[in-house]
Amino acid sequence: MGNNQLSSITLQGSRIVVAGGTSGIGFAVAEAAAKSGAEVIIASSKPERVAAALERLPQGTRGEPLDFSDEAQVRAFFARVGAFDHLVYTAGETLLLQNLADLSIEAAQRAFEVRYWGALKAVKYGAPLIRAGGSITLTSGVASSRPLPAWTIPSSILGAIESLTRTLAVELAPLRVNAVAPGVLRTALWDNMSEADREGLYDYIAEKMPVRRVGEASDVAQTYLYLMQQGFSTGQVIVVDGGHVLV
């Protein structure tokens, strides 16, 4: 496509699979992509959440319940989807935040199941179906490079995702593979905290941040769309954190 390659990549009429598209970042990406003219297919583990999301997303969006820890389910899901253009992986459970001394190794191993192994399964079975000019965008987070106490497992998972992104960009070339690393956002990720603790965290982070607020899912959704349409970026981790890594 030469010099016209960049401008020719559009979401209009493309097919996009958003793993974890029922809430938070995934929902925001699915909504933005559908409004850009894409055919969007969401997948999430709970049928009721898929149904609720489809009621709020633009007409024409499709969705299925999918357990990303089950390889057979992931394989069958992509076989049903068939050829498509972009894969976005945002699926994940609530964070396992524990000091090392109190950490359950079994729980730590389970924490990798959806966020890391689920992403790997989705790429394994989704990548062969992605059409020329398509892309894969995974999800990391700023804790990969700016960890805090009790973040041993989440930071490890995020670091693994970033290494996976770079490796896949080489192995799957010319298919583009990138990742987005959000900062603290107001999403269901923090639902394992009490409301008081959650709001306290938001206030604490906002006071330190250069932008003086925590982010919203919509703040980072456009970065995923940019990476789908920007045909010259691969192996990159794009940080969208309101300046959190600076302070």
* Whole-number Å distance between alpha carbons of 49 and 59: 17
Please write the tens of the pLDDT for every residue from 189-236.
666 667 777 777 777 777 788 888 878 888 899 999 999 999 999 999
Residue 127: count other Cβ atoms within 10 Å of its Cβ.
17
Q: What phi and psi values does residue 116 have, to the nearest 5 degrees?
A: -100, -60
Provide the pLDDT confidence category of residue 3 given band limits of 50, 70 and 90. Answer: very low
* Whole-number Å distance between alpha carbons of 62 and 166: 30
Clarify whether 36 is annotated catalytic: no
pLDDT of residue 4: 47
Candidates 140, 155, 163, 218; catalytic one: 140
Show the DSSP H helices in 36-104 as ranges: 47-56, 71-81
Q: Is the pTM of this model over 0.85?
A: yes
Residue 188 pLDDT > 90: no
Sequence-distant contacts of 143-148: CB under 8 A, at least 24 apart:
144/181, 145/245, 146/244, 146/245
**In CATH, 2-187+218-240 is 3.40.50.150:** no
Please write the tens of the pLDDT for every residue from 152-169.
888 899 999 999 999 999
Residue 247 pLDDT > 90: no
Helix (H) or strand (E) holding 240: strand 237-240
